[in-house]
Chains A and B, each alone.
Chain A
Amino acid sequence: MSMTGTLEREEIIGKINDFLVEEFEVERELISPEANLKETLDLDSLDYVDLVVEVESNFGFKVSPEDFVNIATFQNFYDYVINKVEAEKS
């Protein structure tokens, strides 16, 4: 069983959405789990650096640049962060 409960998952997703709206200036209604992260946020190579900074500042771990290769949708991104948070706990 996952160590991260539903409530905590929702908190993590909320936190991610908040910094995406605040720092990357995406309209909140454009965020949905199946939407493409890169296209929705209009990310270029420089923006990925700031995504690493935001994740570190909010969750305390560093995303390896190569990990972004497997992150296509918002849901992929949420799952990646949630798994990392779980791994940090164990």
Chain B
Amino acid sequence: MNRVVITGIGIYSCIGQNVDQVRDSLYAGKSGIGLDPERDVQGFRSSLTGIVPQPALKELLNRRQRIGLAEQGEYAYIATIEALKMAGMDEDFLTNNEVGILYGNDSSAKPVIYAVDQLRLKKDTTLIGSGSIFQSMNSTVTMNLATIFKLKGINMTISAACASGSHAIGLGYTLIKNGLQDQIICGGAQEINYQSMGSFDGLGTFSMRQDSPTEASRPFDKNRDGLIPSGGGATVIIESLESAKKRGANILGEILGYGFSSNGDHISAPNVEGPMRSLQMALDQSNVKANEIEYINAHATSTIAGDLSEGKAILNVFGEKQPYLSSTKSMTGHEMWMAGASEIVYSLLMMHNGFIAPNINLTDPEDELKNLNFAFDVIKKDFNLFLSNSFGFGGTNSSIIVKKFRE
């Protein structure tokens, strides 16, 4: 079995558009949440959203490369440039090696809506334009990035709701561990436009705390009232230890385990047993005892039911000695398809800069969760081992354990 290491990360999010900006936001506990007035016009219950600027790509990509990219593909592209640069993989390397791509993405609503609107208006399919199909498909991110970067390895999108990005990394890890690939660009991307969020808003899942956007996302807090939709792109380059050493790459961490499970229960309501099984599987696979984990980046999205069930699962699995715990979604909102990948990036940035990011807005934790070891404020701490949880609709769960690299 190969050891699997991380050699590059890239991020484009509402708390920063590169790793340096994001590191500073995480340390400062800075929120990226704001209001989108268009949502109010369109009849949304809540206008709260992560605020992510559109990247300028005209100087970076030609017309054909640009017109196939949906919004989330643009975010993913910027994050991937940063990650490839950090990993030291240039165009020549990508052209001459079987580098793969596994990216999490589970919607591309805006281009689909645009295409149908055009068709209804023009009554002519040609007038939808040539970029639409490549923007509309669920695999839009991987089909575009694989073309732009001329990738020759595995090429597919992982759709697993809000655990998509985490499963993408986990499945990449599995392929490399088993010797089927040497290097894979993993990650997650999430569109943020209002068109993609209406049906979710309609479920009453989003926070209504519109009078104070930066205080709206408050995972584990008694006064939480829902999640805030957010998005962007996060890339994590993984490769075999042998490949990283051969290339002389800087190793950011080693993936020790990937636990996964399905609740076998309700489509949207979480439970405690499913996440417990993915947590335990990740620990067993990593050959790590629960009390050795130093930090957990929680999935906790600031919903009433979700935070409570995850908190209980963590209490059950980690028992007496609870690792530090925070949900970076308190700052970013819920980055959904992207979250499992971005939260690996956030945790790596913490591990390499000696701090644990705060779970902001957590002033009064749930009574049943008071024994969790929350990072209420930023904690300066060198740590070597973390776990990141991601859960999604349909009861899909993923837990990934990463360790600072040691020979």
Contacts and interface: CB of A to CB of B under 8 A. Distances in A.
Interface of A: 23-25, 44, 46-47, 49-50, 52-53, 56, 62, 65
Contacts of A53: 126-127, 129
B130 interface: yes
Contacts of A50: 67, 129-131
A52 B63 contact: no
Contacts, number: 28
A62 B126 contact: yes
- The secondary structure that dominates the B interface is helix
Interface in B112-139: 122, 124, 126-127, 129-131
A44 B63 CA distance: 12
A84 to B, nearest CB: 16
B62 A46 contact: no
A47 B64 contact: yes
A24 B129 contact: no
Contacts of A24: 63
A62 B124 contact: yes
A80 to B, nearest CB: 17
B64 A52 contact: no
Contacts of A44: 64
A25 B127 contact: no
Interface of B: 62-64, 67, 122, 124, 126-127, 129-131
Nearest to B126: A52
Nearest to A63: B126
A49 B129 contact: yes
A8 to B, nearest CB: 25
Contacts of B63: 23-25
Contacts of B122: 56
Contacts of A25: 62-63
A61 B292 CA distance: 69
Task: For the complex of A and B, list the 9 residue pairs with the smallest distance between their C-beta atoms, beginning with the closest.
Answer: A49-B130, A46-B130, A53-B129, A25-B63, A50-B130, A52-B126, A53-B127, A56-B127, A50-B129
Contacts of A46: 64, 130
A16 to B, nearest CB: 17
A23 B58 CA distance: 12
Nearest to A46: B130
Contacts of A62: 124, 126-127
A62 B127 CA distance: 9
Nearest to B132: A49
Contacts of A49: 126, 129-130
B62 A52 contact: no
B247 to A, nearest CB: 35
